[in-house]
Amino acid sequence: MSGKLVIFSAPSGAGKTTIVHEILRCKQSVFSFSVSATTRAKRPNEQHGQDYYFLSIEEFEQRISDNAFLEWEMVYEGCYYGTLRSEVELLLAEGKNVLLDVDVKGGINVKRQFNDQALAIFIKPPGIEALRQRLLLRNTETEETLNVRISKAEEEMKYAPQFDKIIVNDDLQTAIMEAEHTINTFLGLDA
């Protein structure tokens, strides 16, 4: 028996990771989380192998050459993100449902590969100004990186119609409930 995939994608700062963590907390018996790989610097609260596999650029590029990724992209200059093929395929083969937290183009690529076996959810911020404020509150951005993230977010939001479900994260609890309902319907968990 093969499991199913639930893919979450969003522009940086839309609240995707917060929603994913809450879904995993509430549905830990339903999902296995696929840990992504990245070349970006580890943030203070993150752990290797739990939040991401933190790889050097050289390690990441070698894995690209080895076709080790289900999807990958250089999201920002010198900063790769990707989903390890072996991890996802192993979990699915064990009949587990897999939750992915990936960038927008990666989400589209995975959905194309898995079609009806995957549900692709796009988390959308209520607007660009709200997104700017959220990124500022993180206190991790310079003016330059903030502008790059905002510009990228504007581009990524154009891809939202290619997803199965768009959830506007205007209110976090409402967005979580909407995501949970959408997942329950997809997995046939609604009674």
Model pTM score: 0.86
**Three-class HEC string of 101-122:** ECCHHHHHHHHHHHHHHEEEEE
Q: What is the pLDDT of residues 17-67, one digit of tens each?
A: 899 999 999 888 899 988 899 999 998 889 999 889 999 999 999 999 999
Residue in the block written with tokens 């205007």 = 170
Record the tokens describing residue 35, joined without a space: 């840990």
Q: State the Cα–Cα distance between residues 6 and 101, nearest whole angstrom.
A: 9
Q: How far does the chain reach from its first CA to its final CA, in angstroms? A: 22
Q: What is the pLDDT of residues 100-136, one digit of tens each?
A: 999 899 999 999 999 999 999 999 998 888 878 877 7
Mean pLDDT, to the nearest integer, of 161-179?
96
For residue 13, is it left (φ>0), alpha (ψ between -120 and 50) or beta? left
Return the bridge partners of 79, or none: 76
Q: Got the DSSP string for 37-104?
A: EE-SPPPTT--BTTTEEE--HHHHHHHHHTT-EEEEEEEETTEEEEEEHHHHHHHHHTT-EEEEE--H
Please report the pLDDT score of residue 1 as a whole number.
55
Q: Contact at 8 Å (CB) between 109 and 81? A: no
**Does the structure show a pLDDT above 90 at 190?**
no
